[in-house]
Amino acid sequence: MEQQYVSVVQLKQQEQAVLELKSIQQSLERQKTVVTKELSELEQSLWETRAQSGALQATEGHDLAAIEQELVNQGISNQVLLRAPVAGIVATRLVEPGEALKAGQSFATLLPRESILIAQLSVPSRAIGFIKPGDVVLLRYMAFPFQKFGLQRGRVLRISRNTMDQAQLIDSPTGAQADSYYRVLAALDSQSVKAYGNEEKLRPGMQLEADVITEKRKLYEWLIEPLYTVKGFTK
């Protein structure tokens, strides 16, 4: 049987190699422990960061909701609730949405339910001289052309004492010259117009033209001097 002999030097070398491998193993174990600890710390830090981010988002959302609610509250506090003294409908709007109002300024006219409509005419000062309460008024509604539905009748009720500038008129006459105007109210003989066999009720705000018959004359005199023609609307 063949025997192999190892010298003392070789034995020492092998022992040294084993010791070095063990040392390397121990070093790797220590590094593994350090890396595992660092990884655990990183995971903990990541979890805390996510938790802080979620809390921050929740806080920001709460703050945003609080700000929005504050804006809503401010908007409500800046609004004024107006109650009409009687039930009815808005006949005329004198201002536009968003327009600023002054103290005491009118912004709309209210028409009570079941009220009787009257015609409001804007008569230039140069034509007011012969107009008086009781004068017959021939009305032409824009919504019901007189060529098809005929002229409607009314009578002058009241004439304003003071004049108004054109800028003060709710509905200035089309093509009107710079002039001052009197407000003339006229009672309507009928609150409706007969159209196609039906009685069509008049509505607030309908535009109209009117001829005021100031006196009785012979036919040829009417041909020489035309009627006073004014514009207005139902009220």
| pLDDT tens, residue by residue, 100-133 | 878 777 777 777 777 788 899 888 888 888 889 9
pLDDT digits (tens, 9 = 90+) for 147-186: 999 999 999 999 988 887 766 665 555 555 567 889 899 9
Ramachandran region of residue 139, left (φ > 0), alpha (ψ -120 to 50) or beta?
beta
Compute CA 47 distance to the chain's CA centroid, rounded to the nearest angstrom. 49
Which whole number is the average pLDDT over 85-112? 76
Domain ranges, ordered by start, for the chain = 10-79, 83-115, 116-234
Is 87 a residue whose pLDDT tops 70? yes
User: Residue 13's pLDDT is what?
Assistant: 83
Query: Under CATH, which number does the domain 116-234 receive?
Result: 2.40.30
Q: Which residue's entry shows tokens 């108004």?
A: 164
**What integer is the mean pLDDT of 209-229?**
63
